[in-house]
Every structure is written in C-alpha cells, then in structure tokens.
C-alpha cells in the first residue's frame, strides 16, 4: 500500500527526522541516521516529502572530511519562514502569546489581561490575543498551540480538569478553532514547557530529564528515552499529588489529603502564612517580605513547603531515575526561603545514587511557556 504525502509527513520517522534537524541542524543525512538509529533509506524516505513541502531545505554542499569518504554532503536545515505559529499560555489573570517561526524562534510577543476565568471569557481573550500578536505574520499563521494548567487530553482537545480556572471537560480545541479558524492544539502547560526545554534548553542531549514547577500549582513532566511521557490516561509526573503528609495533612482540591500541592502551592502557603501571622489580608509578596524580615512563624511555613517539594521530587526520581531535574515556575521568587529544605529532604529521601541527581534551578518567563505551546503545535504538524 502506497502512502500519500500527508501520511509521509506525519509518520513516526518524519517526526523523528524533523525534530533532529530542528534541534541539531544543519545536519546531513548520514548524521541523522546515526543520531536517530533510522536506516539511510528511512531517512531519505522521510526527508524527501518535507523538502518538497518546503519544511526542510538543503544547504550548500560540504566536502567530506578524510574520515568520511564519499560524495559531498548537503546538510539539511529547517526552513524557518515556511509558516508561523502562535503559542498561548493561559494564567489565572492574563494571557501570554508569542508568534514563532518553524524553528520555534520567537518573532513577536504580547500579553493581555483576562476579564474572567469563564470558558467564554478565556476563549474570547485567546481570539483577541491571537489577532493582536499575529500582526504581520497573520497571513502565514494557521496553527495555534494553547497551554493550560491541569489535566489535559491532548489527543481529544479537551481540558478535563483545571483547578485554577474551575473548568471540567471543556472542549477547548474546538472552541478556539471555531473563533479563529486555525488548527489548534492544547496541552498541559508544564508538558508544553518541557518540550521547549527538550528542544532548546536544559534537556538538549539528555536521554531523560524531569521538569518540575513551583507556583500556583506544583507541576512536573517527564522525558524518558528521549520522549515526553504522556501517561496512559494523559496524566504522568504529577508530583503535586504525591501524598507526603497523608495522616494529618491538609485536604487537597484533588480530593486527596496531604498532597505536595496542598502544602506547597502558592494558595496553600498564603493561607498558612495568614494564619501564622494573624493577618487575613496577607498575600504572597507580603508573606515573602515577612519571611525575609525574620518572621519565624512565616519562615516555618516556607520551610514546610520546601520539605514537601523535596519529598515529592525524591519520590519521582526514585521511580523514574532522570539524569537531571529542572526546577522552574513563578514560585522561584521565594526559592531562597525553601531551597535548603528542598535539597535536604530530597537528599534524605532519594534512594542510593539517585541522590546525586542534580536539581537545576532555571527561571523562565511566561513567554517561554507560550513558546512551549507553539512548540507543541509545531510538533503536532509531524505527529503520527
């Protein structure tokens, strides 16, 4: 049975080859075969339709070195301006959007406030953001990636549960496609950020790594054997819902008790800091100020949060064994208040040599999260 060009563009080999050229290019065919383990024939079969469709281009010839006898090589490169992609990160109070080219390089960025967290308000806001950020690239922008915190069914295009938005079973892909006319992809925000880190950040060249985020929630995504782990049910790496104080811990919005997120999320920290300080109006910035100012009771709240995060990270490392763990998220603003406890709990709880797994702190602005959403859209272009 002959495959048509659309099938060739969305084969597993095409996805592998495109990603290799994107992250390693310019790179020639023999090198692609060496990196991916694909046969030379499979590489050639995958490359041909992508060149014909304008996604890849051949660079000028490069003479082989003495070690590489044979014909001169034509390195392959991604044709960046073939088309453009919008990535949107949804937060609790604003939308962050970027336009990227096919290499996921950001060409434009914009933010708009959210008028509310209802489905209609967010979808309308996304449509307005896309209109504003696309600008001069609008005629060549037909793909939108959206990233949202929570349980996201990427293949089905549905946000099954997003705690901070208060959503359940929202068909976000269909709704955004209806108002924009674009091809839309939706993904969990931490997973989307992890794809960008795998392509361009701390995950480059790593066979396995984890990305954990601290902030409004406690998130985590995993790359194993060079691939993002989606999970059998679309949920994997959720260290925020590992119970670390199940007996007498606080209730979690997930229905569990003593979860990492119930102790270490921004909402949990603020609630407990208010109680400790006797100030019902205290916010996160105020709690950080009090802790830095030496308030022992509030510092203890951050310390307990750090311990919970460290235990959650250790459980994940014990189970999965990543080469490294990248720690990011808006909660890094308070990282100095619980870093010591995170590392101490992690070292104590990690089993054997797993305690040597490095924790790499990497602050990333919201635009990088939006870039991750665009990267998911690019990835989906070649996904089988």
Tens of pLDDT along 196-246? 999 888 888 889 999 999 999 999 999 999 889 988 888 888 999 999 987
**Could you tell me if 356 and 215 lie in one domain?**
yes
**Could you tell me if 247 and 341 lie in one domain?**
yes
Condensed to tens digits (0 to 9), the pLDDT of residues 155-203 reads 999 999 998 899 999 999 999 999 999 999 999 999 999 999 998 888 8
Strand partners, 151: 161
In this prediction, what percent of the chain has a pLDDT beyond 90? 76
Print the domain residue range for 52.
5-78
pLDDT for the residue 12:
85
Burial of 172 (0-12, 13-18, 19+ CB in 10 A): buried
Q: List, in sequence order, every beta strand (DSSP E) within the chain.
A: 56-58, 76-78, 84-90, 94-100, 106-113, 141-148, 151-153, 158-162, 167-170, 183-188, 209-214, 218-224, 227-228, 325-328, 359-361
Does residue 200 form part of some domain? Answer: no
**Could you tell me if 224 and 179 lie in one domain?**
no
Contact 97, 134 (CB under 8 A): no
Does residue 199 form part of some domain? Answer: no
Question: Which pTM value belongs to this model?
Answer: 0.89
**Could you tell me if 333 and 210 lie in one domain?**
yes
**Number of domains into which the chain is organized:** 3
Kindly report which listed range (21-30, 54-63, 134-143, 295-304) carries the lowest average pLDDT score. 54-63
Burial of 160 (0-12, 13-18, 19+ CB in 10 A): middle
> Looking at per-residue confidence, does 371 or 234 come out higher?
371
Does residue 33 form part of some domain? Answer: yes
Condensed to tens digits (0 to 9), the pLDDT of residues 262-292 reads 999 999 999 999 999 999 999 999 999 999 9
């Amino acid at each position: 049975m002959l495959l048509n060009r659309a099938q060739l563009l969305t084969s597993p080999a095409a996805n592998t080859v495109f990603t290799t050229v994107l992250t390693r290019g310019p790179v020639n065919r023999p090198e692609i075969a060496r990196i991916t383990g694909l046969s030379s024939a499979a590489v050639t079969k995958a490359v041909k339709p992508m060149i014909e469709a304008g996604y890849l281009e051949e660079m000028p010839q490069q003479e082989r070195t003495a070690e590489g006898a044979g014909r001169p090589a034509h390195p392959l490169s991604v044709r960046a301006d073939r088309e453009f992609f919008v990535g949107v990160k949804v937060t609790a109070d604003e939308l962050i959007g970027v336009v990227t080219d096919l290499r996921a390089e950001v060409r434009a960025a914009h933010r708009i406030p959210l008028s509310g967290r209802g489905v209609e308000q967010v979808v309308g806001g996304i449509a307005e953001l896309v209109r504003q950020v696309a600008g001069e690239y609008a005629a060549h922008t037909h793909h939108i990636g959206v990233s949202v915190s929570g349980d996201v069914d990427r293949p089905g295009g549905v946000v099954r549960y997003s705690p901070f938005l208060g959503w359940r079973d929202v068909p976000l892909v269909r709704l955004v496609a209806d108002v924009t006319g674009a091809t839309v992809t939706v993904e969990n925000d931490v997973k989307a950020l992890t794809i960008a880190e795998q392509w361009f950040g701390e995950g480059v060249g790593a066979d396995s790594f984890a990305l954990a985020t601290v902030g409004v929630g406690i998130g985590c995504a995993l790359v194993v054997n060079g691939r993002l782990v989606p999970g059998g049910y679309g949920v994997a790496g959720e260290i925020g819902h590992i119970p670390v104080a199940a007996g007498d811990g606080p209730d979690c919005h997930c229905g569990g008790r003593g979860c990492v997120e119930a102790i270490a999320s921004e909402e949990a920290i603020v609630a407990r800091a208010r109680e400790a300080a006797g100030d019902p109006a205290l916010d996160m910035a105020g709690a950080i100020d009090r802790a830095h100012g030496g308030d022992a009771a509030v510092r203890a709240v951050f310390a307990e949060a750090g311990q919970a995060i460290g235990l959650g990270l250790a459980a994940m490392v014990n189970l999965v064994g990543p080469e490294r763990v990248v720690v990011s998220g808006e909660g890094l603003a308070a990282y100095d208040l619980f870093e010591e406890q995170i590392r101490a709990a992690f070292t104590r709880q990690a089993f054997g040599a797993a305690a040597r797994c490095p924790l790499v702190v990497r602050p990333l602005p919201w635009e990088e999260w939006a870039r991750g959403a665009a990267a998911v859209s690019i990835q989906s272009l070649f996904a089988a």
